[in-house]
Structure 1
Amino acid sequence: MGPIPYDEDGRLPHESEFLSQLGDRVREMRTLRGMSRRELARRSRMSERYVAQIEAGKGNVSIVRLLRIALVFR
């Protein structure tokens, strides 16, 4: 068996794909609600930069932070 193919962020391909899809979904939900990134960040008590990283598929988001985002969208 060969080496595990980690990407440049140190993630497995499936992890990067998942985070990318998650980021797309967060952006889609935010846009559907006519919400700015700044507003989502404020309402979920995260930095705007961190929300941008999540939407870009770069942030390694925790379950608790996902819950905060979900509660804003409910």
Structure 2
Amino acid sequence: MPYDEDGRLPFESAFLAQLGDKVREMRAQHGLSRRELARRAGMSERYVAQIEVGKGNVSIVRLLRIALVFRGE
């Protein structure tokens, strides 16, 4: 399989793009800015932006932090 410009297989890039779309959608539903989500999740605003555009190679632990923000914890 060919790799894309980010060194990922096509299905990996598609997955990260879908994940980013969902994070952006959930952030909007909760009325949060990127800055506020990043602050509450303990990560940089730039990292949140990378996740939302499908460029960040997000870890499970960071996804958990984001999910906990959306749950209000």
Q: Which residue of 2 aligns with 1:60?
A: 57
RMSD: 0.4
Contiguous gaps of at least 5 residues in structure 2: none
1:24 and 2:21 correspond: yes
Shift of 1:10: 0.2
Q: TM-score, normalised by structure 1?
A: 0.94
1:47 and 2:44 correspond: yes
* Whole-angstrom CA distance in 2 between matches of 1:60 and 1:23: 11
Q: Which residue of 1 aligns with 2:4?
A: 7
Q: TM-score, normalised by structure 2?
A: 0.96
* Whole-angstrom CA distance in 2 between matches of 1:73 and 1:14: 26
Shift of 1:34: 0.6
1:22-46 Cα offsets, whole Å, 9 max, x none, are 0000000000011000000000000
Structure whose CA Rg is larger: 1
Write out the 4+ residue segments of structure 1 that deviate beyond 4 Å after TM superposition.
none
Contiguous gaps of at least 5 residues in structure 1: none
AA at the equivalent of 1:16: S
